[in-house]
Amino acid sequence: ILKTQLEDEFPGDLEITGESTPSTSGWFEVEVNGKLVHSKKEGSGFVDNEQKMATLVDAIDKVLGK
């Protein structure tokens, strides 16, 4: 769901990768113009509320110069 929301918000601007794993809830990363702006596996956590989503959108906007 988050991947779809971000792709709708920033069409063609993001590289989003992820993988679920049997022992954990997996990993999810968002990269913009080669810059990693979110990495669950590196400590950014799960985007599970509006504040975390707003923080992620702000980081994407900053990289895109919006």
| pLDDT tens readout for residues 6-64 | 999 999 899 888 876 666 667 788 999 889 999 888 888 888 899 999 999 999 999 99
Backbone angles phi, psi at 36, to 5 degrees: -75, 115
Give me 1's structure tokens.
């769901």
Q: Is 57 helix (H, G, I), strand (E, B) or coil?
A: helix
Amino acid 46 reads: F
Contacts of 12 (CB under 8 A, 6+ apart): none
Is the overall model pTM greater than 0.85, yes or no? no
Q: What is the C-alpha separation between 66 and 49, in angstroms, rounded?
A: 23
Domains of the chain (ranges; CATH) run 2-64 (3.40.30.10)
